[in-house]
Amino acid sequence: MSQKKPYVILTRTLPDSIETRMRELFDARLNEIDEALSQEALIEAVKLADVLVPTVTDRIDAELISKAGDQLKLIASFGTGVDHIDLAAARQRGITVTNTPGVLTEDTADVAMALMLAVPRRIAEGDKRARSGSWQGWSPTGMLGHRINGKRLGIIGMGRIGEAIARRARGFGLSIHYHNRKAVHPETEAELEATYWESLDQMLSRVDIVCVNCPHTPATHQLLSRERLALMRPSAYLVNTSRGEIVDEEALADLLAEKQIAGAGLDVYSDEPNIPQGLIDLPNVVLLPHIGSATIEGRLEMGDKVIINIQTFWDGHTPPDRVIEAML
């Protein structure tokens, strides 16, 4: 590649130290107001940039990629998921795509575990009552929830995050069940004392907590359909820190309202930042604003990965976090 500094356009504000390093290494254009770029601004960006640094909220679809200038050779996404990027369109234009895998594993697993505790133990309801002034003091039957110790956890997608959640859950006395495209390594399965279910339907009907951790792909779009959600026990809980599009949110709200599912803890939604009113109105749902990866440490590590991917690519080598469609 050329020795000139690549013209890098960031679509959102990143941590100061990351932006400073990018300015030192590249000809970087920052987004100082930290608002999502309009479609017109994104079109301008792909026409001008050598490298685009989008986030998971930017839709980099085939139409946008078709408007890119010939100089755009790398989309270095600031995030793990790549369902917001049309990988086939990028490949056809000869544009390499990278992401930031691995660094968000522990942070996302922490939030999933927090939701697993918060929903059965009615933490959000309790906080609201304590602040409202309506609390009349301790009562033997007040704010009764359910313990998670001794329950079965069903993990959908046993990748890095799924395994990290399983390790945490075992510490809380949960037994581990999982559904995956294939069983994990026997040593990992033995370590976690995990039970593999080839049939998702069979697992859903048997576990007490369902935790969604698979990526959003065409194959997993609304994987938890109304029919599948209806297989869950009335005493079961759903936790989703992956992608909102994997769950039929309308069906979930209906089943929660009808007490066919006991509760849900959600950090992601299909049309962010919009959350279905049917979910907002329910007391047995804990809603978070997509904070699964929101730690200072995680954001800095993500930024470091973006910088390494850009520098490696610009030096003429394959970036370490290149996204390959066939491996998703």
Catalytic residues: 243, 272, 290
- Say if CB 205 and CB 177 are below 8 A apart: no
Contacts of 30 (CB under 8 A, 6+ apart): 10, 13, 19, 22, 23
Q: What angle do CA 323, 39, 61 make, to 5 degrees?
A: 30
Q: What is the DSSP string of 135-167?
A: -----TTTT-----TTPEEEEE--SHHHHHHHH
Pairwise CA distance, residues 86 & 169, whole Å? 35
The tokens for 182 are 């294939």
Element (H, E) at 29: strand 27-29
Pairwise CA distance, residues 44 & 11, whole Å? 11
Pairwise CA distance, residues 44 & 82, whole Å? 21
Q: Residue 195's beta-bridge partner residues?
A: 177
Pairwise CA distance, residues 85 & 62, whole Å? 8
The tokens for 283 are 């007391």
- The SS3 call for residue 230 is coil
Pairwise CA distance, residues 85 & 68, whole Å? 14
Binning the chain into helix, strand and coil, the percentages to the nearest 5 are 35, 15, 45
Q: What angle do CA 98, 223, 82 make, to 5 degrees?
A: 10
